[in-house]
């Protein structure tokens, strides 16, 4: 479904002259009884993993290569998934220090994201 939506959005952008190519934005979700797993990005070649604890039944795992966010796995934590997905889709990253800081509300993590250098 996401693939079809992505292509539809791309066609619309190209119709109005933006001349963009398709770049896959991988994401996945699965419901397993009382657990919802949501994944954004691909966690290949990571060298650092940080975990953000939610309540007793939720948490998120953030995968990095250096300081660059690669992927987010969210377990019963839809907010963390959506924030991580938006950061990845906008070609930004967020410092692991903000992710693990429980005093920072997950909804404000996007405000701490920074644009990646184009050469990276």
108 neighbors 79 (Cβ within 8 angstroms): no
> How many domains are contained in the chain?
1
pLDDT in tens, 38-84: 999 999 999 999 999 877 889 999 999 999 999 999 999 999 999 99
3-state secondary structure of 89: helix
Residue-level length of the chain: 120
Model pLDDT, residue 94:
94
Where in the sequence is the domain holding 97, given as residue range(s)?
26-115
Model pLDDT, residue 112:
86
Structural domain contains residue 62: yes
DSSP assignments along 71-86, one per residue: EEEEES-HHHHHHHHH
pLDDT in tens, 85-116: 999 998 899 999 999 998 888 888 888 888 87
Give the C-alpha separation, 60 to 39, whole Å. Answer: 10
What CATH number should be reported for the domain holding residue 32? 3.30.390.30
Structural domain contains residue 41: yes
Structural domain contains residue 19: no
What confidence tier does 117 reach under pLDDT thresholds 50, 70, 90? low
């Amino acid at each position: 479904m996401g693939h079809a939506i992505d292509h539809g959005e791309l066609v619309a952008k190209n119709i109005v002259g933006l001349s963009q190519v398709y770049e896959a934005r991988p994401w996945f979700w699965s419901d397993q009884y009382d657990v919802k797993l949501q994944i954004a990005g691909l966690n290949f070649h990571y060298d650092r993993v940080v975990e953000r604890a939610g309540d007793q039944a939720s948490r998120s795992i953030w995968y990095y290569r250096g300081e660059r966010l690669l992927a987010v796995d969210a377990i019963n934590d839809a907010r963390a998934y959506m924030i991580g997905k938006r950061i990845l889709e906008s070609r930004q990253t967020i410092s692991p220090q903000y992710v693990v800081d429980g005093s920072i509300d997950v909804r404000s993590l996007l405000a701490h994201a920074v644009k990646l250098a184009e050469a990276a």
